[in-house]
Structure 1
């Protein structure tokens, strides 16, 4: 799927990132990996952009020239928000308890990571322009299969299968993005905190992809 021809104006993208960065940067603890046991009220703590059209996003102007760490942070914030948007649907529409709990876990984990990335951005790149790079390895592919409209029309078992299908692709994109950053760690002198986050994303989301593939095979 070629997305460039459907790109929204870059000012809208800048506004979305500004909203992400302005929200809740002081309430969460340092990232400590993907702890799926701590769901709390995370589902209600992130900015609500469920209506955001992930298929029409464009890169921020000059994003590819920004520091790679900043590109990763800004782009992964948007990528994570996409996961939150569809995970919220799973909490209320999935037919299986396992999938509802899985959706809640995604919300808790990725909401926490968004908050952490916003905090780092504020500390490291406070005055930098938005650097959302849709051509960051894994980003465009990870977002391309997201179809909120279709998910919104499905219920029960049909929803379960489509949710899993979309989330596998989305998770795969996050893994590729994180590995791409880690591959450049020595070259760019990657900050240890960001390295730890990227490694945690690879580990956790690879495991979740494996689990989702098992569910697809079992839930005929």
Structure 2
């Protein structure tokens, strides 16, 4: 798979602690790409220069790649830290689905916007609010019911942001391929939101 400059920025930006994300194979996610300032949190992520001037489809592709990667990074923690098999199975499906969509988005980026740089737009409706305040450090040290409460709350918020982005794509995307993918994102992530909220109630999960 081609590793773009965008992907490198996304992975560095999503790293909060090397040992946590090293489990997912994201080696070398340190602050060197940002001037040696150390790992960055979700809250410090920035839009690409002139992103808002790019075509909407270009913005959506690059922004959704970053959004999906952050979901994958969270989902990677589930298998060893959650207690319920239902949540573990969902996390595996999330990783498979969103990695497949990242690969497809990267292919479309090459086809449609090769050489046009990156267009990550943190101001896109649904993006900033779903990425802000992700409790990665707390999740990385929690387990069992404590972890599941943190994960479900964070992932429900994250999914709602993706749904909002995808709904915008339904109105503004020019490529039918992106409209179709956005339909799939809306359908799948709304279902996962409903399942997670149901489990949270059934399992009586509360954050400490």
Task: Please say whether Structure 1 and Structure 2 have the same fold, judged by a TM-score greater than 0.5.
Answer: yes
| Whole-Å separation in 1 of the counterparts to 2:117 and 2:8 | 10
Match of 1:168 in 2: 156
CA gap of 1:142–1:199, structure 2 versus 1, over 3 A, is same
4+ runs of 1 displaced by more than 4 Å? 44-52
Contact 2:6–2:118 (Cα < 8 Å) also in 1:
no
Partner of 2:64: 76
1:134-173 alignment, distance < 5 Å: 134-173=122-161
Instruction: Give deviations 1:130-156, integer Å, cap 9, x for gaps.
Output: 100000010001111312101111111
Q: Which residue of 2 aligns with 1:29?
A: none
CA RMSD of aligned residues (A): 2.3
Take 1:105 and 1:149, find their aligned partners in 2: how far apart are those partners? 23
Kindly provide the CA deviation profile for residues 48-77 of structure 1, in whole angstroms up to 9, marking residues without a partner as x.
Answer: 669762221000010000000000000000
Question: Matches of 1:130 and 1:15 in 2, distance apart?
Answer: 8
Distance 1:45 1:91, change over 3 A: closer
Unaligned runs of 5+ in 1: 1-13, 21-43
**For residue 17 of structure 1, what is the aligned residue in structure 2?**
7
Are positions 1:120 and 2:108 aligned together? Answer: yes
Aligned residue pairs total 181
Select the residue among 94, 98, 103 that pairs with 1:106: 94
